[in-house]
Amino acid sequence: MSLFANTTVLLGKELRTEFRSRELLTTTIVFILIVLVLFSFTFDPLSDEARRFGAGLLWLAFLFAASLMLQPCFLREQPNDTLSALRLSVADPFAIFLAKLAANTLFLLLTELLLLPIFAVMYNVQVLPVLHWIVLVFFLGSLGVSIAGTALSAISAQARMRELLLPLLLLPLLTPILIASTEVTSALLDRSPYVPWKGVGFLVAFDVVFLTALWLFGEYLLEE
């Protein structure tokens, strides 16, 4: 079966499993909300500066949430050794990663888009004029987070203290995503006529580098 076909089938499985229980989505959304609210208590949320901080806090909240949300990614394949079943059934193990990272990107993007209006209200920012750019940045950023996060989740699933380990490994690695996404989002919300080419370029570079690395080394991550 081709890589594309296998990926699609596996993606279907990931989505079906999640939408049946919706555990991951609901807990992630609530977590981000909690973080955003708590952050607001640390400064004056209505001040002008708040709008500048806002984008950064939003992305920080996304990253924290992602580092928790990505943990079950490979952990849930452990109890019944379903990972072995997948490895035996697919011709190219990269399909397993592609499906998972596509699913993770989708889940992250979904939570981000659901939270965007709430964020806009909380921090009094206008997102509609730049909505298309924001969605693009959300997508590219979430993709980068998912690629790195899926890879590292395969690593942390095989170590002790995995709940703490994944954020530890992932967050420093995602520094470029945090910076690029925040800069672009914050500039977009500032309502300056701003075309975020540099930031978008950064995000694309990150995504390409890590997707390539995952493609090259993915099968070793699954080895026993």
Site size for another protein (CB under 8 A)? 51
* Rounded least distance, CB 2 to another protein, Å: 9
80 lies in the site for another protein, by CB under 8 A: yes
**Distance in angstroms (rounded) separating the CA atoms of residues 100 and 119:** 28
Closer residue to another protein (CB): 41 or 220: 220
What does each C-alpha distance from 131 to 90, 126, 192 come to in angstroms? Answer: 39, 9, 14
Stretch that binds another protein, among 26-34, 36-44, 59-67, 88-96 (CB under 8 A): 88-96
61 lies in the site for another protein, by CB under 8 A: no
205 lies in the site for another protein, by CB under 8 A: yes
Task: Name the token pair of 131.
Answer: 């909505």
Q: Check: CB of residue 188 under 8 Å from CB of residue 134.
A: yes
Q: Check: CB of residue 54 under 8 Å from CB of residue 189.
A: yes
In the chain, the amino acid numbered 149 is G
48 lies in the site for another protein, by CB under 8 A: no
Q: Check: CB of residue 138 under 8 Å from CB of residue 113.
A: yes
From candidates 43, 47, 49, 81, binder to another protein by CB under 8 A: 81
**Distance in angstroms (rounded) separating the CA atoms of residues 116 and 110:** 10
Q: Check: CB of residue 99 under 8 Å from CB of residue 81.
A: no
102 lies in the site for another protein, by CB under 8 A: no
Helix (H, G, I), strand (E, B) or coil at 194: coil
Closer residue to another protein (CB): 33 or 53: 53
The residues that touch another protein, with contacts defined as CB under 8 A, are: 1, 5-6, 9-10, 13, 16-17, 20-21, 79-82, 84-90, 148, 151-152, 155, 158-161, 165, 168-169, 172-173, 175-176, 179-180, 183, 198, 202, 205-206, 209-210, 213, 217, 220-221, 223-224
